[in-house]
């Protein structure tokens, strides 16, 4: 086990959706601040946009944790692979709306709408965090539009935050994009933030002395394009390779070696392409 070789209590670069592994760079702080603005100002909808691996899903989880439950009721749902009725059923269930499994869409609509209004009277804002919106079915996107319009008409205190890949925004349709009031772009990390992510991950796993040389961390940054998921993947494979070769520290040549073994297109490093 490479953890034992490096004196680690766990795998430092696994668990991509674990909020405890969230690294707050400048882009992440800015994104969270903008999301809080949406909720605090009772705006209807915002977009969180980022390439694959930039941490959109993890950002939504961290944001939900920061909201707490005292003044907000939040729901986090992924839209990949679900249909309209399943979306309504999941949303109703997360909001605590009582309904039978056989309930029709009209019943679910009414229950959800009544719950939103009830929250408003109790001075609770409702925050709906929707992941993979660019992968949602058209009828599910129609339900998202309906919720946004219901909020605007009834002042229901609902804020929707939609996470998507920027190159697939057209899948959301013009009507939904017109309703968005704020765009949050989640960018890759710079060199210092990449090094910080690596050091923080190792420290969380019990290692405080360096494993990666400064040059190795710089090479990881160059090859990953600053994309957190890619940084973790390269660093993890380098730890495995370093343990297998009985190395005392990880140098750039090992990082280069594991990168080549991944078999990715070399344009990734040159153009910041994400896989």
Instruction: Please report which confidence band the pLDDT of residue 1 belongs to, taking 50, 70 and 90 as the band edges.
Output: confident
Residue 275 reports pLDDT greater than 60: no
Residue 127 is classified by DSSP as E
- Domains of the chain plus CATH, in order, are 26-185 (3.40.50.300), 189-269 (1.10.8.60)
**pLDDT by residue (tens digit) across 119-161?**
999 999 999 999 999 999 999 999 999 999 999 999 999 999 9
DSSP string spanning 110-123?
HHHHHHHHHHHHTT
Average pLDDT score, the chain: 90
Instruction: Please report which confidence band the pLDDT of residue 174 belongs to, taking 50, 70 and 90 as the band edges.
Output: very high
pLDDT for the residue numbered 63: 95
Residue 116 reports pLDDT greater than 80: yes
Residue among 47, 127, 139 at smallest CA distance from 86? 139
b/e map 108-137, b = 16+ CB within 10 Å: bbebbbebbbebbeeebbbbbbbbbbbbbb
pLDDT for the residue numbered 99: 74
Proportion of the chain above pLDDT 70, given as a percent: 92
Residue 19 reports pLDDT greater than 80: no
Instruction: Please report which confidence band the pLDDT of residue 273 belongs to, taking 50, 70 and 90 as the band edges.
Output: very low
Residue among 96, 122, 97 at smallest CA distance from 111? 97
Beta-carbon contacts of residue 61 (< 8 Å; ≥ 6 apart): 17, 19, 76
Residue 270 reports pLDDT greater than 60: no
Residue 206 reports pLDDT greater than 60: yes
- The tokens for 183 are 């765009």
């Amino acid at each position: 086990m490479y953890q034992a070789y490096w004196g680690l209590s766990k795998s430092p670069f696994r668990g991509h959706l674990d909020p405890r592994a969230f690294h707050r760079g400048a882009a992440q702080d800015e994104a969270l601040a903008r999301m809080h603005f949406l909720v605090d100002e009772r705006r209807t909808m915002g977009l969180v946009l980022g390439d694959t691996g930039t941490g959109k899903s993890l950002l939504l989880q961290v944001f939900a944790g920061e909201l707490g439950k005292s003044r907000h009721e939040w729901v986090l749902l992924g839209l990949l692979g679900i249909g309209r009725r399943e979306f309504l059923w999941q949303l109703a269930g997360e909001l605590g709306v009582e309904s039978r499994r056989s309930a029709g869409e009209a019943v679910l609509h009414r229950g959800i709408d009544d719950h939103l209004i009830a929250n408003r009277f109790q001075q609770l804002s409702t925050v709906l965090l929707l992941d993979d919106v660019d992968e949602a079915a058209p009828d599910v996107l129609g339900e998202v539009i309906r919720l946004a319009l219901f909020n605007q008409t009834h002042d229901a205190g609902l804020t929707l935050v939609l996470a998507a890949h920027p190159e697939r925004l057209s899948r959301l349709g013009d009507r939904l994009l017109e309703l968005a009031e704020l765009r949050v772009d989640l960018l890759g990390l710079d060199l210092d933030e990449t090094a910080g992510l690596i050091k923080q991950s190792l420290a969380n796993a019990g290692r405080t002395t360096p494993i990666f040389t400064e040059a190795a961390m710089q090479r990881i940054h160059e090859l990953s394009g600053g994309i957190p998921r890619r940084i973790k993947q390269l660093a993890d494979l380098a730890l495995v390779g370093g343990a297998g070769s009985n190395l005392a520290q990880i140098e750039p040549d090992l990082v280069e070696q594991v990168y080549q073994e991944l078999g990715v297109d070399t344009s990734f490093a040159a153009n910041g392409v994400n896989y």
